[in-house]
Amino acid sequence: MCGICGCNQTLIAGHAARPSGKAVRFRLHKQAPETADAVRLVRIERDILALNNDHAAANRRALAERGIFALNLVSSPGSGKTTLLVKTITALNGALPLAVIEGDQQTENDAVRIRAAGAPALQINTGRGCHLDAKMVGQALEQMKLQDDSLLLIENVGNLVCPASFDLGEAHKVVILSVTEGEDKPLKYPDMFRAASLMLLNKCDLLPYVEFDADLAISYARRINPALQVMRISATSGAGMQAWLDWIKEGSSQAASA
């Protein structure tokens, strides 16, 4: 029996010298040889976003195969994204089949508003997450019964920082800036304005009542992204909405014919 633990595994016997110099006999279980592997370096060189980008590429392929035009709408909280969507759905009035993915940390409120406007909507609650990622959208795409050649509007979590880094597989990011915010937001949150193809300057009906220099805001945004298209709109009053609707229809027909 092992002198240490009492087991009956393969035992080894030997002698050990005590400090007194007197040798004692021992029987101990055979210790496994030291198994710690050698420490080594592994070269990786991979983008941290690689996995998200893989999911995004898969989403993009799936959308392209079905001619679906997908837009990722991003902005600060309170810029009027959901109102814009509701008005867009109402104005399109069935001219284009469409569906909406709503991203929020909590509640189903926005999806309820969209459904009331007459469009199918799937709500994704991100919980502690501050943005939608491509995997979430991929799972949503599997659940939704999207029509071929339709429009998919993805309302991201209200946040001008994190959604900039996460490609969802959309055709374009559309950034919404409202005139009740600071006109220097493009400078404060440049990544989002760099990632977007179109900026909607919303709530323009309020310009007479607020200190907001629209030209300056646009010049700041183009300083980051000279190719950025800009439209001045008011989702509430309807001003400028036609240009936005035309832009959607144009993109949608291109996606459908590609």
Partner 1 sequence: MHEMSLAEGVLKIMEESASAERFRRVRRVVLEIGKLSAVEPEAMRFCFEAVMQGSIAEGAALDIVETEGQGWCAQCACHVPLAALYDACPHCGNFPLGVTAGDAMRVIELEVE
Residue ranges in contact with partner 1 by CB under 8 A: 36-52, 128-131, 133, 161-162, 164-166, 186-187, 190-191, 194, 220, 222-226
As measured in angstroms, the least distance from the Cβ of 255 to partner 1 is 28
Q: Are 255 and 149 in contact (CB under 8 A)?
A: yes
As measured in angstroms, the least distance from the Cβ of 226 to partner 1 is 5
- What's the CA gap between 62 and 206, in Å, rounded? 40
**Closer of 67 and 129 to partner 1 (Cβ):** 129
**Closer of 37 and 215 to partner 1 (Cβ):** 37
Q: Are 24 and 103 in contact (CB under 8 A)?
A: no
Return all residues near 136 (Cβ < 8 A) that are at least 6 apart: 103, 124, 126
Task: Classify each residue of 112-145 as buried b or exposed e, where b means 16 or more C-beta atoms within 10 Å of its C-beta.
Answer: ebbbebebbbbbbebeebbbbbbbbbbebbeeee
**Closer of 13 and 41 to partner 1 (Cβ):** 41
Residue with tokens 């983008």: 47
- What's the CA gap between 201 and 223, in Å, rounded? 16
As measured in angstroms, the least distance from the Cβ of 132 to partner 1 is 10
Among 119, 129, 125, 127, residue whose Cα is nearest residue 159:
129
Q: How far apart are the first and last CA of the chain?
A: 78
Q: Is 234 helix (H, G, I), strand (E, B) or coil?
A: coil
As measured in angstroms, the least distance from the Cβ of 153 to partner 1 is 22
Among 235, 180, 238, 232, residue whose Cα is nearest residue 211:
180
**Closer of 86 and 157 to partner 1 (Cβ):** 157
Bridge partner list, 202: 178
As measured in angstroms, the least distance from the Cβ of 139 to partner 1 is 15
As measured in angstroms, the least distance from the Cβ of 165 to partner 1 is 6
**Closer of 224 and 230 to partner 1 (Cβ):** 224
As measured in angstroms, the least distance from the Cβ of 251 to partner 1 is 24
**Closer of 58 and 91 to partner 1 (Cβ):** 58
Q: What is the dihedral of CA 23, 26, 31, 34, to 10 degrees?
A: -10
